[in-house]
Amino acid sequence: MHHISVLRDELVAGLNISPDSQNIIVDATLGLGWHACVAIGKMKKWDIFIGIDRDSENLARAKAIIEEFTKGNNSIPDMHFIHGSFAQIDAYLTELHISSITGIMYDVGVSSIHFDEWDRGFSFRLDWPLDMRFDRVGMEETASHLIHSRSERELFRILKDYGEEPKAFFIAKAIVDARKKSPITTTGELVQIIEQSSFDKKSPVRVFQALRIELNQEFAHIEESLQKAVRLLAPNGRIAVISFHSLEDRVVKQTFAQFEKDEIDDFTGQTKKPAVLKRVNKKPILPTEEEIQNNPRSRSAKLRIVQKQSDY
Ligand SMILES: C[S@@+](CC[C@H](N)C(=O)[O-])C[C@H]1O[C@@H](n2cnc3c(N)ncnc32)[C@H](O)[C@@H]1O
């Protein structure tokens, strides 16, 4: 499967890149760099672009694609590429001596290349090592380690909270019973355990999603990064986020909601301080029918854009 980026123009348009003033733009999830190329195409020589990915293999691919895209163009922005989680966005910017940014975009989750690479263990379709780490350099724990180190109750919680798996109880029990007999090290072994305990063909997709989210601490990283991004945004700066399922979208929506309320004087009823963030679109932006047809993976994507309107 070739990676096609979702809501490509809409995500970048959300950043409101200015043709006149300096833009300092962060792509927090470079992936293969397709959204980044659209953003860089709108930027000027005096702008700064910072690309981050937790996966060093994707980071290297994105760099190559962006280099190819910008070859021969001498009005490209100053570019920096960082391997690490977007949760540490503040530290990366401090290192670059950058104190505020005009826009940051996120396209969270896995890239289709993660599913295509046999040895990454994100896909349950074939019998591959049960890995699922976004960062094979910096992380030691794999999904196989995870299912051996958590209690039955913890596994149940993970499957329930991050997979919304109706048969979580039976699957957690089956995993614990199976691991007593022999280690579970491949995706195929896990799929067999899931299917034999849930009798539901849809369970593997939900269980794999849940394990991936827990292993990579995806929601905690998103929340931490968005909180920091709000602080780092310059006045009128924008955050644009694409999420891929309802649980992920909830984290984004709830984190933004903390900054979307005016501070009201309870005596006068007047606004003391306007909300830090305002929504650019009332409702999230969804892919068109045409995009969904061309790229079924975009089906559940939602794009939220906010703008900073007061100090924080
Ligand atoms: C859907 S892809 C992004 C695709 C990209 N927008 C493009 O156009 O090619 C998501 C990327 O985010 C990365 N990622 C996931 N969690 C991350 C995190 N906490 N920090 C940085 N990158 C992360 C993944 O490794 C993956 O490469």
Residue-range domain boundaries for the chain: 8-113+218-308, 140-215
CATH superfamily, region 140-215:
Putative methyltransferase TM0872, insert domain (1.10.150.170)
DSSP string, 152-200: HHHHHHHHHHHH--TTHHHHHHHHHHHHHHS---BHHHHHHHHHHHH--
Q: Is the CB of 33 under 6 A from ligand 1?
A: yes
Residue 1's pLDDT is 38
Helix (H, G, I), strand (E, B) or coil at 103: strand
Ligand 1, from 53, 86, 218: best to mutate by most atoms within 8 Å of Cβ?
A: 53
The CA distances from residue 284 to 107, 164, 198, 240, 304, in Å, are 14, 22, 34, 10, 5
Residue 23's pLDDT is 98
26 within 8 A of 106, measured Cβ to Cβ: no
53 within 8 A of 83, measured Cβ to Cβ: yes
Tell me the CA–centroid distance for residue 190 and ligand 1, in Å: 25
Helix (H, G, I), strand (E, B) or coil at 101: strand
**Side-chain half-sphere of 84: how many Cα atoms within 13 Å?**
13
59 within 8 A of 53, measured Cβ to Cβ: yes
Extract the residue ranges of the chain whose pLDDT is less than 70.
Answer: 1-3
Residue 196 in tokens: 């034999």
Tell me the CA–centroid distance for residue 74 and ligand 1, in Å: 27
Residue 252's pLDDT is 98
What phi and psi, each to the nearest 5 degrees, are found at residue 70?
Answer: -100, 0
Tell me the CA–centroid distance for residue 109 and ligand 1, in Å: 6
Please name the residues in contact with 91: beta carbons below 8 A apart, sequence gap of 6 or more.
Answer: none
Q: Is the CB of 111 under 6 A from ligand 1?
A: yes
Tens-place pLDDT, residues 95-118:
999 999 999 999 998 888 888 887
| Single-letter amino acid, residue 75 | S
Residue 280: name the closest of 239, 252, 244 by CA. Answer: 239
Q: In ligand 1, which atom is closest to the CA atom of 37?
A: 8
Tens-place pLDDT, residues 126-173:
889 999 999 999 999 999 999 999 999 999 999 999 999 999 999 999
| Single-letter amino acid, residue 32 | L
**Residue 106's beta-bridge partner residues?**
241
Q: Is the CB of 219 under 6 A from ligand 1?
A: no
Q: Is the CB of 165 under 6 A from ligand 1?
A: no
Please tell me the distance from the alpha carbon of residue 38 to that of residue 283, in angstroms, as a whole number: 24
- Residue holding tokens 């910008």? 70
Q: Is the CB of 55 under 6 A from ligand 1?
A: yes
> What is the DSSP-derived secondary structure letter of residue 117?
-
Q: Is the CB of 212 under 6 A from ligand 1?
A: no
**8-113+218-308 CATH fold:** Rossmann fold (3.40.50)
Please tell me the distance from the alpha carbon of residue 162 to that of residue 228, in angstroms, as a whole number: 24
Residue 3's pLDDT is 62
Residue 302's pLDDT is 96
